[in-house]
Amino acid sequence: MFYHSKELQFKARVSKPDPRFARLLLEQFGGGNGELKAAMQYFVQAFACHNPYPDKYDLLMDIATEELGHLEIVGATIQMLLAGVNGNLKDAAEQNDVFGEKTFSKDDFIHTAFSVNPQFGTVTGGGPCLTDSNGAPWQGSYVNANGDLTVDLRSNIAAESRAKIVYEYLMQFTDDKDVLATLNFLLTREVAHFQQFEAALDTIRPNFPPGVLQSDPRYSNIYSNHSMGDEARGPWNEGRSPGLDEEWLYVEDPGRQVAETDGLTQLRPQGTSRTEASVRSADRKLSKERSREIRRATPESNLEWCEYSAEREKKKGGASRTRRQPVEQM
């Protein structure tokens, strides 16, 4: 269950209303790289971890919940940036300025609707809405959860990178010191989360390639030169590959290679110590291991999600009584 604390995680402040920036900031409220996406992504991923990987369940739920707190900070900031709008709109009988200042009358609103987000005036009455800065509604397909921590944690590292860069861009569009302080805090937390997910991924061994199957050693170290013109060389196509530690094989003419190898089916592994047999055996070993980890933690009938504290106490009490018994007999 959840509790709500009325205190924000960070002291959000706004020195003066700015409906234009409120619209830009919607990107982190209901946008594809925003706080609700982050919260829902880690929340949804956490379910699969609950039994087999309680340490990762704890991590995902801690960060998911912190992200909900960030959503609240962003929403509160948008509301403050739109201060006065709702009150002015409620003065329905009079044709007052909507956005408080003389510089932002109802007339201006109509003419600058493209920079002010018309929905602030026509739908939300001067508050946030779950859309991005262009008004596209938030959607569940922003959330990536694939039931495998070696995949999900990588999705999260990517999500944190994108959330961070959006804050970085947003900071260039306001000079309000109070708003900048909030954005700086939110940006920094994404940097913290990036590292937390990275460290968690590192505790899973092996974690590459993502998932279980180890991949085919005939194709894993081929760099295919598919574009014509100037060619660039770097650690992505020369030297050793970072994940599997194989030698990169630069294929100058992929068309010729395909023709000569009957569509790559006649290729033999090269530049790698992996063989088809070693891969098959690693596949079987890791399949058993991962499947056992999850199945051992997941009963197939009489399932319960959690234990309550009274139940836990009772068990603990029982255990300590049996521990005490021999002492009493002595």
Residue nearer to Mn ion on the CB measure, 193 or 274: 193
Quick check: 186 and 28 in contact, CB under 8 A?
A: yes
CB of 302 to Mn ion, least distance (A): 37
User: Which single residue is written with the structure tokens 């508050």?
Assistant: 127
**Footprint (CB under 5 A) of Mn ion, residues 21-60:** 35, 38
What's the min distance (Å) between Cβ of 172 and Mn ion? 19
Q: Which stretch binds Mn ion (CB under 5 A): 65-73, 126-134, 273-281, 303-311?
A: 65-73
- Residue 246 found at the interface with Mn ion (CB under 5 A): no
Residues 211, 150 contacting (CB under 8 angstroms)? yes
Given candidates 37, 56, 164, 193, which one binds Mn ion under the rule CB under 5 A? 193
The answer to whether 143 and 41 are in contact (CB under 8 A) is yes
Q: How buried is residue 128: exposed, middle or buried, by Cβ count under 10 Å (0-12/13-18/19+)?
A: buried
Quick one: which segment of 23-31, 66-74, 243-251, 305-313 binds Mn ion (CB under 5 A)? Answer: 66-74
- Which residue carries 């006649």 as its tokens? 266
Q: Which of 37, 56, 70, 218 binds Mn ion (CB under 5 A)?
A: 70
CB 252 within 8 A of CB 225: yes
What amino acid occupies position 170? L
Q: Smallest distance, Å, CB 157 to Mn ion?
A: 10
Which candidate, 40, 63, 37, 36, places its Cα nearest to that of 198? 63
> Which of 27, 132, 176, 190 is close enough to bind Mn ion by CB under 5 A?
190
Would you say 35 or 97 has its CB closer to Mn ion? 35
Check whether the bond before 209 is cis (ω within 30° of 0): yes
| Gap between the Cα atoms of 45 and 297, Å rounded | 17
| Nearest-approach distance from CB 134 to Mn ion, in angstroms | 21
From 47-55, 88-96, 186-194, 215-223, span contacting Mn ion (CB under 5 A): 186-194
| Of the candidates 179, 160, 157, 178, the residue with the CA atom closest to the CA atom of residue 170 | 179
**Minimal distance, residue 175 CB to Mn ion, in Å:** 23
34 or 126, CB closer to Mn ion?
Answer: 34
Check if the beta carbon of residue 249 is closer than 8 Å to that of residue 264: no
- Which of residues 67 and 132 has its CB atom nearest to Mn ion in the complex? 67
Nearest to 114 by CA among 23, 26, 25: 23
Nearer to Mn ion, 189 or 274 (CB): 189
Q: Is the CB of residue 36 less than 8 Å from the CB of residue 30?
A: yes
Number of residues this chain uses to bind Mn ion (CB under 5 A): 6
- Select 76 or 264, whichever has its Cβ closest to Mn ion: 76
List of residues contacting Mn ion (CB under 5 A)? 35, 38, 67, 70, 190, 193
